[in-house]
C-alpha cells in the first residue's frame, strides 16, 4: 500500500474524506462542509512536502505519526513499552448507503506489540458520524488499556469551545472558552454521566450561535466515566473527540480478549448549533427503537405525596388526573419494604404489606379502569444499609472487601457486574413487571460511584456494562415496557443509556425558570419527546420560587409533558387551565415530537425565543419566555427562525394558553406574513415581566 487512495462519503451537507492507502491507519483529510464529488486532488493539496509535518492526523494518532498530542490508543503489555506502530492488515471496507453516507471499516495491527484494532466509522444519512474502536490482544500476557479515543480533525477556524458545567437541579450550564494551541478537556469520574456532562462538546468559529457560525460537536455515548477533549498543536490541525475514561488496571486483556470503546458521535453544521441538533435528532428519530407511539401525558406522584403512600389519597389523585386528561400515572418512591423515607429499604424490591396489604393491585386496577397506563419507580443499582438485602449480603456492595466508601444519601451502590447481584435484580424486576404489568419504569440512580471496586480492580467500566445488560435483559423479557433514565434528575443523560431507554428526566427541578435553561441545553442533544418536562406545584420544592400556572404550562409543553403536583387541591380555575393545556399538548405533540427544533439568537439575554417547525414547514410553534428583567423598555421584536421563506403563514396565539396584556387588554395577534418576513423583520410583541411567556402557533396559508 502507498500513495493515496481516497474514500469520500457525503450526506445532509456533510463530507467525510479519508486517505485509506496505508500502510498506517486511515487519515482524515476532511470532516465538515460538503465538498461535492470532485475530491481526487485533496490529498495532493495537503501534501506538505519534504520532512514537513502533515497537517492531518490518522484516526488513531501515535508518536510514529509525529503526533505529540494525546495518543489515540495508549497502553502496555505487563509494563513494557507502549509505543504502537499500527499498519493496515487488509484493504479498508467501504459500504455506501443509498440514502447518503455509508460505513468504513479498517483493521490494523502491531505484530510486535500483539495488538489488533478494528475501527468502525459511519456517516449516517442525517449527517451524523459515529465512530468506535475495538482492541484485541493477540499475544501471551496481559495488555493494559490505558486510553482509547475517537478523534476527528477541526480546522483553525474552530477557535472557541462550548463546554458545560452543572450540579443537582441546575444541569448542563454552558461555558465558553477560547481554543488556541492547547488542550481543553472535560473529564467525569462520577461513575455516571454527570450533571455537567456535555450534551455536545462543541468547537466553532468565534461567537457561533444557534443559527450562525460553523461548528463541530462531539458526544461520548457512555454512562460511566468519560472524557471529551479539544486539542491543537502548533504544527497540526486541531482534533475533537473523546472516549471512556479508564482507571489504571480497569481494562486488562488476556490473549484473545477484546475491549470495544463506546460509540462516539460527531456532528457538523455550517449554520450554528441548531444544525448539530438537526443531525443528532434526525438520527435518533430514525432508529428502529425510537418511541413511535404518542408520548402519553404523565402524572408522577413524587411532588404530590412524597413517601405518604395511602391508597385512598392516591386513588383520588388518579381519578382527578383522569378527569383532566392524564394518560399515564406513575407511582414514585415509597412502595417497597420499609421505605418510609430515603434512609431505608433500597434493595428490598417487594411491595410493603404494611402499606399495601393487597399489594399494588387495587391502585393498578383503578388506574387501568380509568383508562390510564400505570408506571412504577425503581432504583435497582442502589442499596440502603438499613435493608434486608444489605444485612443478608453485605459483600454485594461495589467496594473493596472490608473497605466501604462513604455513604451518599444513606445508600451504597450494588455491584451489578457480580453474577448473583445481576440475577437477583433481574428476578425482582421481572417479577414486578410480570405481576403488575406497568407500561413504564422510572429507573433512578441517586448517587455517584466512588471507590468503585469490582473483582479486585476499578469497577466503573464493569458496572456500566452490567447495567446495560440488565436493561437489555428486562426489555427482552418485556418488549413493550418503556423505561425512563433518571439519575438524581438529569445526571444520566447520554446516548449510551438512551440506546435502551425511552426518555430521560431532565432535572429534579420543576421550577420553570430553571427548566427553561436546562431544557434548552438538554435539547442540544435530544429531541423534545425524549426529555420529561412536568408542571410542578405553584411553589417549587427545590428552591421555593413561586411562578404562575401559565408559565409552568408553557415551559412543560416543549417536551414529553406531564404533571408533578397534588392536583386534588387545585381550584376550579387551575383545573380548567390544566385541562386546556393537556388538550393543547395532545393536539400538538405530533408536531412537537417530529418537527425540527429551532432556537433564535435573540438579542435580549434575559429572554429565550425557541420553537419547533414541522418537517414540511407547514406548521410551527414558538415560545417567547422572559427569564429576567430586561434592559429594554417597550415592544419586543421577535424574529422567528426556521420557516419556509417563500410560504405565507397565519400567526396567532396558542388558543389553549393565556396570552400577555397590552395596554391593559389581552394581546391577540392575527397576522399573515411570509416566512422571510417573519425571520428577517419579525413581529412586535408586548413586553413581559420576568417568569412570563406566551406561545404562538403558525399555519401555512394555501
Which residues are marked as active site?
A: 444, 508
Q: What distance in Å separates the CA atoms of residue 80 and residue 84, rounded to the nearest whole number? A: 12
579 known member of a binding site: no
168 known member of a binding site: yes
Q: What number of other Cβ atoms are within 10 A of residue 120's Cβ?
A: 18
410 known member of a binding site: no
445 known member of a binding site: yes
* DSSP string across 394-412: GGGBSSBTTBPPPPBTTBE
479-486, long-range: CB < 8 A, 24+ apart? 480/439, 481/433, 481/438, 481/439, 481/440, 481/441, 482/291, 482/439, 482/440, 482/441, 483/440, 483/441, 483/443, 484/440, 484/441, 484/442, 484/443, 484/532, 485/443, 485/445, 486/442, 486/443, 486/444, 486/445
633 known member of a binding site: no
Kindly provide the b/e burial profile for residues 286-308, where b requires at least 16 CB atoms within 10 angstroms of the residue's own CB: eeeeebeeebbbbbbbbbbbeee
For residue 350, give every residue at least 6 positions away whose Cβ sits within 8 Å of its Cβ, in sequence order, or none: 336, 337, 428
Residue with the three cell numbers 462538546: 201
Contact (Cβ atoms closer than 8 angstroms) between residue 127 and residue 107: no
**Cα–Cα–Cα angle for 42, 47, 50, nearest 5°?**
170
Q: What distance in Å separates the CA atoms of residue 148 and residue 262, rounded to the nearest whole number? A: 10
Rounded to 5 degrees, what are φ and ψ at 393?
A: -135, 65
Q: What number of other Cβ atoms are within 10 A of residue 517's Cβ?
A: 18
Rounded to 5 degrees, what are φ and ψ at 420?
A: -70, -30
332 known member of a binding site: yes
570 known member of a binding site: no
Helix (H, G, I), strand (E, B) or coil at 115: strand
Q: What distance in Å separates the CA atoms of residue 512 and residue 583, rounded to the nearest whole number? A: 20
443 known member of a binding site: yes
CA distances 509 to 232, 536, 541, 696, Å, are 38, 9, 8, 26
343 known member of a binding site: no
- Residue ranges of the annotated binding site for substrate are 168, 332-333, 409, 442-446, 486, 508
Binding-site residues: 168, 332-333, 409, 442-446, 486, 508
Amino acid at each position: 500500500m502507498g500513495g493515496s487512495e481516497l474514500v469520500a462519503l457525503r450526506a445532509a451537507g456533510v463530507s467525510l474524506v479519508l486517505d485509506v492507502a496505508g500502510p498506517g491507519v486511515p487519515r482524515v483529510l476532511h470532516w465538515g462542509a460538503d465538498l461535492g464529488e470532485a475530491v481526487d486532488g485533496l490529498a495532493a493539496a495537503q501534501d506538505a512536502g519534504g520532512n514537513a509535518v502533515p497537517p492531518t492526523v490518522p484516526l488513531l494518532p501515535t508518536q510514529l505519526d509525529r503526533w505529540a498530542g494525546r495518543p489515540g490508543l495508549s497502553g502496555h503489555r505487563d509494563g513494557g513499552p507502549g509505543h504502537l506502530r499500527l499498519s493496515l492488515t487488509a484493504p479498508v471496507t467501504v459500504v455506501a448507503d443509498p440514502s447518503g453516507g455509508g460505513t468504513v471499516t479498517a483493521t490494523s495491527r502491531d505484530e510486535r506489540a500483539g495488538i489488533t484494532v478494528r475501527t468502525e466509522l459511519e456517516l449516517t444519512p442525517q449527517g451524523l458520524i459515529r465512530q468506535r474502536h475495538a482492541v484485541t490482544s493477540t499475544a501471551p500476557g496481559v495488555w493494559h488499556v490505558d486510553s482509547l479515543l475517537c478523534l476527528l480533525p477541526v480546522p483553525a477556524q474552530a477557535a472557541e469551545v462550548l463546554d458545560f458545567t452543572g450540579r443537582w437541579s441546575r444541569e448542563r450550564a454552558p461555558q465558553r472558552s477560547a481554543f488556541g494551541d492547547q488542550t481543553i478537556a472535560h473529564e467525569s469520574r462520577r461513575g455516571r454521566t454527570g450533571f455537567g456532562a456535555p450534551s455536545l462538546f462543541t468547537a466553532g468559529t468565534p461567537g457561533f450561535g444557534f443559527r450562525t457560525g460553523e461548528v463541530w460537536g462531539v458526544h461520548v455515548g457512555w454512562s460511566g466515566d468519560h472524557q471529551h477533549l479539544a486539542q491543537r498543536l502548533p504544527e497540526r490541525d486541531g482534533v475533537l473527540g473523546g472516549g471512556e475514561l479508564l482507571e489504571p488496571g480497569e481494562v486488562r486483556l488476556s490473549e484473545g480478549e477484546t475491549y470495544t470503546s463506546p460509540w462516539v458521535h460527531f456532528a457538523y453544521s455550517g449554520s450554528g448549533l441548531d444544525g448539530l441538533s438537526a443531525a443528532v435528532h434526525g438520527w435518533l428519530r430514525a432508529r428502529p427503537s425510537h418511541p413511535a407511539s404518542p408520548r402519553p401525558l404523565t402524572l408522577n406522584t413524587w411532588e404530590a405525596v412524597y413517601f405518604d403512600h395511602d391508597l385512598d389519597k392516591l386513588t383520588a389523585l388518579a381519578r382527578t388526573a383522569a378527569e383532566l386528561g392524564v394518560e399515564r400515572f406513575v407511582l414514585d418512591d415509597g412502595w417497597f419494604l420499609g421505605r418510609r423515607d430515603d434512609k431505608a429499604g433500597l434493595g428490598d424490591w417487594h411491595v410493603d404489606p404494611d402499606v399495601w396489604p393487597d399489594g399494588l393491585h387495587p391502585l393498578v386496577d383503578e388506574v387501568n379502569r380509568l383508562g390510564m397506563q400505570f408506571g412504577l419507580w425503581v432504583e435497582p443499582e442502589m442499596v440502603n444499609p438499613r435493608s434486608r438485602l444489605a444485612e443478608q449480603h453485605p459483600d454485594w456492595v461495589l467496594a473493596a472487601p472490608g473497605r466501604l466508601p462513604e455513604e451518599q444519601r444513606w445508600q451504597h451502590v450494588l455491584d451489578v457486574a457480580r453474577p448473583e447481584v445481576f440475577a437477583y435484580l433481574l428476578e425482582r424486576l421481572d417479577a414486578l413487571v410480570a405481576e403488575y404489568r406497568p407500561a413504564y419504569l422510572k429507573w433512578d440512580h441517586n448517587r455517584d460511584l466512588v471507590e468503585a471496586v469490582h473483582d479486585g480492580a476499578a469497577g466503573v467500566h464493569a458496572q456500566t456494562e452490567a447495567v446495560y445488560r440488565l436493561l437489555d435483559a428486562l426489555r427482552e423479557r418485556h418488549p413493550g415496557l418503556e423505561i425512563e433514565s433518571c439519575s438524581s434528575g438529569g445526571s444520566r443523560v447520554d446516548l449510551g443509556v438512551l440506546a435502551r431507554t425511552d426518555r430521560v428526566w431532565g432535572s429534579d427541578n420543576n421550577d420553570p425558570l430553571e427548566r427553561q435553561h436546562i431544557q434548552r441545553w438538554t435539547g442540544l442533544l435530544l429531541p423534545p419527546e425524549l426529555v420529561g418536562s412536568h408542571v410542578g406545584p405553584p411553589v417549587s420544592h427545590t428552591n421555593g420560587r413561586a411562578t404562575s400556572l401559565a408559565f409552568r404550562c408553557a415551559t412543560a409543553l416543549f417536551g414529553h409533558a406531564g404533571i408533578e403536583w397534588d392536583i386534588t387541591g387545585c381550584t376550579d380555575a387551575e383545573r380548567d387551565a390544566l385541562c386546556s393545556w393537556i388538550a393543547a399538548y395532545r393536539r400538538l405533540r405530533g408536531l412537537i415530537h417530529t418537527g425540527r427544533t429551532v432556537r433564535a439568537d435573540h438579542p435580549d439575554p434575559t429572554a429565550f425565543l425557541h420553537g419547533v417547525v414541522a418537517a414540511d414547514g407547514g406548521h410551527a410553534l414558538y415560545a417567547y419566555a422572559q427569564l429576567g428583567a430586561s434592559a429594554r423598555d417597550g415592544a419586543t421584536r421577535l424574529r422567528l427562525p426556521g420557516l419556509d421563506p417563500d410560504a405565507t403563514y397565519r400567526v396567532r396565539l396558542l388558543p389553549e394558553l393565556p396570552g400577555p396584556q397590552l395596554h391593559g387588554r389581552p394581546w391577540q395577534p392575527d397576522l399573515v406574513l411570509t416566512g422571510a418576513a417573519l425571520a428577517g423583520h419579525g413581529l412586535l410583541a408586548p413586553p413581559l415581566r420576568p417568569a412570563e411567556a406566551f406561545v404562538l402557533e403558525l399555519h401555512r396559508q394555501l
